[in-house]
Amino acid sequence: MEQSQNPMIVFEKEAPMVAEAFNGLIEALKNLNGLDPKTKQLIYIGIKSALGDTTAVFYHVAMAKELGATRDEIKDTILITLTVNGLNGVTGCLPMALAVYDKAV
């Protein structure tokens, strides 16, 4: 899936006050100590895959890889959504997620 424009940039441009508040929430969640950053990214990818949110998965796979996630961890994270909502997350997100992972530096 090719993205012509990062949706977060559009969000920040069109609703700067709301985007700033949202980014503060994200930073607070990132600063919690119960899970390491890679695990947080994998959980996020799993949740967004279960919801069929390919845009979020597109961007967060590269972030997870940068944090040390392996291709198998990305794959397993998406496959586990089968138990939640059947094939939706797998068919909608797995091929794209693996392609993004393979292209990410």
pLDDT band at 7 (very low <50, low <70, confident <90, very high): confident
Instruction: Identify whether residues 21 and 39 lie together within a single domain.
Output: no
Here the tokens at position 69 are 């996630």
Instruction: Identify whether residues 4 and 24 lie together within a single domain.
Output: yes
- Among residues 56, 51, 62, the alpha carbon closest in space to that of 99 is found at 62
Residue with more model confidence, 89 or 21:
21
CATH of the domain at 76: 1.20.1290.10
Structural domain total, the chain? 2
CB-based contacts of 92-95 (< 8 A; 24+ apart in sequence): 92/49, 92/52, 92/54, 93/48, 93/49, 93/52, 93/54, 93/57, 94/49
Structural domain of 9: 1-32
Residue-level pLDDT at 1: 44
- Report pLDDT digits (tens) over 41-97: 999 999 999 999 999 999 999 999 999 999 999 999 999 999 988 998 899 999 999
This prediction has a pTM of: 0.84
- Among residues 105, 15, 90, 8, the alpha carbon closest in space to that of 45 is found at 90
CB-based contacts of 79-87 (< 8 A; 24+ apart in sequence): 80/46, 81/46, 81/49, 81/50, 84/50, 85/50
Residue-level pLDDT at 3: 54
